[in-house]
Amino acid sequence: MSAEEKDFRSDNIEDVAAPDNLHHTAERGQYATDKYGRPLVQVDPKVEARLRTKIDLFVVPTVSLLYLFCFIDRANIGNARLAGFEKELGMKGYDYNIVLSIFYISYILFEIPSNIMCKWIGPGWFLPGLSLCFGLCSLGTAFVKTKAQACGVRFLLGVFEAGLMPGIAYYLSRWYRRSELAFRLSLYIVMAPLAGAFGGLLASGILSLDHVGSLHSWKMIFGVEGIITIGLAVISFFTLTDSPATARWLTQEERDLAIARVKSERVAATELLDGMDWKKLLRGVMNPVTLSTAFVFLLNNVTVQGLAVFAPTIVKSIYPDKSVTMQQLYTVPPYVVGAFFTVLIPTISWVTDRRQILMVACCPLVMVGYIMFLASSDYHVRYGATFLVASSLFALGPITNAQVSANVVSDTSRSSAIGLNVMCGNIGGLISTWSFLPWDAPDYHIGNGLNLATSSLVLIVSMLTLLWMWRDNKKRERRSIEEELAGLSQQEIQDLDWKHPAFRWRP
């Protein structure tokens, strides 16, 4: 550290344990870092821990439940398939794959626009509104009578579900530090594997009933789960709030601390929530780490969505003589294992403040699992392979979203970066709908081979990106901050985002 840097730091650091200084730093227009990107705020760790726990209790449970039923409403078509969905609607050949694909087309198209709308309207209203709409779509699926009607409802389901995953990730980035975010993202993304487990249990329980109103067989699955989603959406209108500044359940001192601690990690930022700016939106999309991570999430989601939608079909090929209820129940244990690791790996990320190396570490078990699928025809070996696949597959959801969030600066660029990451992930979901084809049953060499290839490519891309981040950070160390910022206004400096000379990639 140069003498100039030391003088600047000693002159500008504030002890924000005092409420007045904390409020000053939280105000719009006040820097929370020096020109070298170091925080100007110091917080009592015990005070911050109490605030973090309070945020956890008020924010995370609601968004987690919403995402649980979002994923259930998306994947329950796999459970309905076992209960006669295809037969009653007269589907043949690739009709089922077409119905699945329709969902991902709208999901992909509305991903980024939806996240921009989330910033514009505010997550406190937008996320509950989305949940209410896709709950109504799930309920509507119970009343379809033709393939065309099923396609129409699934298209609308994709429109409304498109914004939930990136919207929640963006919403949580308003509340948590870089190191904390992956773990909090895992607490709602873990609902994806839990939805596979809980969805199978719930579907088997619903199918044990004779009827629900006028609904029978597979229609009961969509009807009951849709009604539950609608109820949760209505409750969330009253429990979610846009940001720390509007949280009625925080004191003024807690609001100031919540804002200041997040601002302190954003180089040259003078506000937590900046105005909508197309330049910053493009900064988020064109960020090299965002592009690399989004491609990794695309590859990963080929496998995630394939496992979610086709797990009941895979289990049926392994245990063809079991009852429908037992087949549903056999899908549960691998998801329970997956849920455990989906929280464990982001917990490691929280402790180490690392994400890229964990993306690399998630690949080997998935690769081994699909090698077992391809190399063995023994049913027990294949069922065991589903546990290996699920163990690290779902963890890339929170890790990748936390990684793109950690490697941009402004709130606006964060919204577009997360939107792009999830959009690319769902392009992978679209590909997955055509990876398990009817004529490839029961071994599904194409689907399993594709998933082995994608998991191998994730390993390669993640490793190359990690090496590039280390190399580029060394180059940035040699840049002159004073020379590059000379003559720039405060707004121009903020607009640099990740191009700011003091910014460093966070591996």
Return the structure tokens found at 418. Answer: 């997360």
Q: Model confidence over 67-124: pLDDT tens digits?
A: 888 888 877 787 788 778 888 888 887 888 888 888 888 888 888 888 888 888 889 9
> What integer pLDDT is reported at residue 278 of this predicted model?
77
Instruction: Provide the whole-model pTM.
Output: 0.75
> What integer pLDDT is reported at residue 36 of this predicted model?
53
Torsional sign, CA 420, 170, 40, 52: negative
Give per-residue burial for 467-499: e unless 16+ CB within 10 Å, then b.
ebbeeeeeeeeeeebeeebeeeeeeebbbbbbe
> What integer pLDDT is reported at residue 284 of this predicted model?
86
> What integer pLDDT is reported at residue 196 of this predicted model?
65
pLDDT of 337 > 60? The answer is yes
What residues contact residue 485 under an 8 Å CB cut-off, 6+ apart? 35, 493, 501
Lowest mean pLDDT among 31-35, 194-198, 307-311, 348-352: 31-35
Return the structure tokens found at 109. Answer: 């198209």
Residue 14 in 3-state DSSP?
A: strand
Residues 384-399: what's their mean pLDDT? 86
CA angle 85, 86, 92 (to 5 degrees): 175
Query: Could you write out the DSSP letters of every residue in 52-118?
Result: HHHHHHHHHHHHHHHHHHHHHHHHHHHHHHHTTHHHHTT--TTHHHHHHHHHHHHHHHTHHHHHHHH
> What integer pLDDT is reported at residue 14 of this predicted model?
42
Domains of the chain: 11-42 (no CATH), 43-258+275-479+491-499 (1.20.1250.20)
User: CB–CB of 55/175 below 8 Å?
Assistant: yes
Q: Residue 16: which pLDDT band, with cuts at 50, 70 and 90?
A: very low
Residue 329 in 3-state DSSP?
A: helix
Q: Residue 480: which pLDDT band, with cuts at 50, 70 and 90?
A: confident
Q: For 496-501, which contacts have Cβ atoms below 8 Å and span 24 or more sequence positions?
A: 496/268, 497/280, 497/283, 497/284, 497/408, 497/409, 497/410, 497/413, 498/283, 498/287, 498/407, 498/408, 498/409, 498/413, 499/283, 500/37, 500/267, 500/268, 500/409, 501/476
Report the mean per-residue pLDDT for the chain. 82
Report CA 223 to chain centroid distance, whole Å: 26
Lowest mean pLDDT among 29-43, 220-234, 250-264, 311-325: 29-43
Span between the terminal Cα atoms of the chain, in Å:
22
Angle of helix 191-207 relative to helix 288-318, nearest 10 degrees, comes to: 30
Return the structure tokens found at 156. Answer: 């609308």
